[in-house]
Amino acid sequence: MMWRIVKILSVITGVSLGLVIIAAALIGDGVLTIQHNDIPQTLEATAMDKLMAEDLSLTTTMFIKQLSEQLNRWSEKDMSKPEIRKAFIEELNEHPHFHGFAIYNGDKMVEQLGHLSAKPDSLTHHHMKSEFSDPYEIDGQQFMLLGENLANNKKVIGEINLSFVKDFIKDMASVADSNGTFFVSGDNPNVNWKTTEDTPESLQAQTVPELGWQIVVHSDEQKQKEQIHYKKQQAVIKFKHPETANAWLADHPHLSVVEYTQPFYVVQSSLNETTDELIENLSHDYDIDFAEPNYIFTKQVSKMETVPNDEFFQPYQWNLNQINVSGGWDFSSGDNVKIAILDTGVDPEHLEMKTKIKHGYNAFDGSDDFADDHGHGTHVAGVASALTNNVTGIAGISWNSEILPVKVLDKDGAGTSFEVAKGLYWAVDHGAKVINMSLGDYYHTDVLHEAIQYAYDHDVILIAASGNDNVDDPMYPANYDEVLTVAAVDDARNRAFFSNYGSHIDVAAPGVHIPSLFPDNNYVVMSGTSMAAPHVAGLAGLIRSMRPDLNNEEVYEVIKSTAKDIGTKGHDSYYGFGEIDVARALESIEGS
């Protein structure tokens, strides 16, 4: 998803059963919040809400499928062997979701490890072989029981800690149990619903068939119009003659240096002046080469084909089949290529990332703390290069490539043009061959463009998401000539209704209901051009691994010339040159 000014375009989660999720969508600029209001929704807002509900439903199905299969695997262990029992207890204690485990034969417990706070008769909801309880609270935390029916009248039961629900939804959602009572909410003071009967009738709703959940989402279109696109009373400046900087700053004591990376300064004014007035005054100063606002950028999924054994590849990763990834893996898997993800960071401990990350960068404080306290960057990184053929989870496209996590967006999914530029310089200087930027806004900035040019001049492939506002206004960095710009399509190869368009679109890739990674070894579904872009970054990684002799312009040409033409014949404003085709792209450069 392409994340605009502060928060998300598409809500994702994967949690317990029998719940109602009230979430808020973001259309255009704006803080994602939940508000109790009766503002009529536009058709586009309604469609975005429906997209959110679908992502939530798919994520929930994946999450419960994982837990169900884990219970079945545990039930097959021979606990009579001390070494197996000891190893299992360690595994259970380290599991992020399971709190306790038991096996019943009829009504009699025959095995218990950990602790079950509720009794088996709490399992009052049924779906196929699975049974589940309503959520319940213990010491301020929410739990539920999940049961799986085995052969010979046996049943395996697990107690699940639902902290993932609250951790993920933050202020975006409120959750009600199957009785309609809310038991999880964010800290938003405007949320005052006690039951689902209190929610506005205008909200869009969708039921999750497998679980009986009802998912209700809505948009706050007023907030987006009020969003400020830059840091107040700050400016990014560059001096005509760098050696004069110290003397100039001494002569302007009302300006303090917030950040500095040669040759750029971020200064903040202590005077009672607006940002526009500050920029205007600086622009007329003889010693200043340029002065601009510190803009906010935000997050925006015929050979014998290789078929990986990852559990979610066949049932959920339609996106990889659509772009012919399996055929491409016969040529390349992305070895010896570093892909930089400029985003909210990446979870360094995720099982599908930890072996792929050697080091990273935090553009906010200059440290190597690139941990993802949001989730967007981990999801994007997974699409490009998740560990593959490891049985669990998903498959990544350039799955043998190293990931360089570059944290340029904070826990709210926001960062400035200055941080993004710093991240670009760092990525280039640390060996990135491909850089993915699922972020942006509608303003050209010199500090960002100079960093883009620096990367391009160092032969780096630059990939950017087009944006999620269904407009033809070009975003930056997507609109720069040095960047390959990606639009989003769905599983029918139709343009995603939210995907920005225009003459600057180069190619398209899947961006609707894309499964990928989420912090703490979770998997979620997201939608947006943020998900489309790393598909192309992954393809670029495969090409660079297979043909390191090709320069960035030649790689761009391979990607565009081998894309599957969809829409109007030839290049068009919705799909560019078409949807990427991994196998065709790699076949085209074999032996050439």
What are the catalytic residues?
Answer: 343, 376, 530
Three-class SS state of 289: strand
From its phi and psi, is residue 29 left (phi > 0), alpha (psi between -120 and 50) or beta? beta
> Which backbone phi and psi does 180 adopt, to 5 degrees?
90, 10
Q: How far apart are CA 212 and CA 371, in angstroms?
A: 35
- Tell how far CA 470 is from the center of its chain: 19
Q: How far apart are CA 68 and CA 71, in angstroms?
A: 5
With CA atoms as reference, report the closest residue to 345 among 362, 358, 322, 323. Answer: 362
Q: How far apart are CA 448 and CA 281, in angstroms?
A: 21
Q: How far apart are CA 578 and CA 588, in angstroms?
A: 16
State the residue for tokens 């998740």: 386
Q: How far apart are CA 222 and CA 526, in angstroms?
A: 24
Reading across the β-sheet that carries 204-208, which strands appear in turn? 182-185, 173-176, 20-25, 213-219, 204-208
Q: Which amino acid makes up residue 292?
A: E
Kindly state the tokens that stand for 514: 């894309």
DSSP bridge partners of 204: 217
Classify residue 42 by its DSSP letter. Answer: P
- CA contacts within 13 A on the Cβ side of 368: 7
- CA contacts within 13 A on the Cβ side of 402: 14
Classify residue 243 by its DSSP letter. Answer: G
Radius of gyration (C-alpha) of the chain in whole angstroms: 25
> Which backbone phi and psi does 583 adopt, to 5 degrees?
-60, -45
Q: How many beta carbons lie within 10 A of that of residue 71, not counting itself? A: 22
Kindly state the tokens that stand for 200: 């506005």
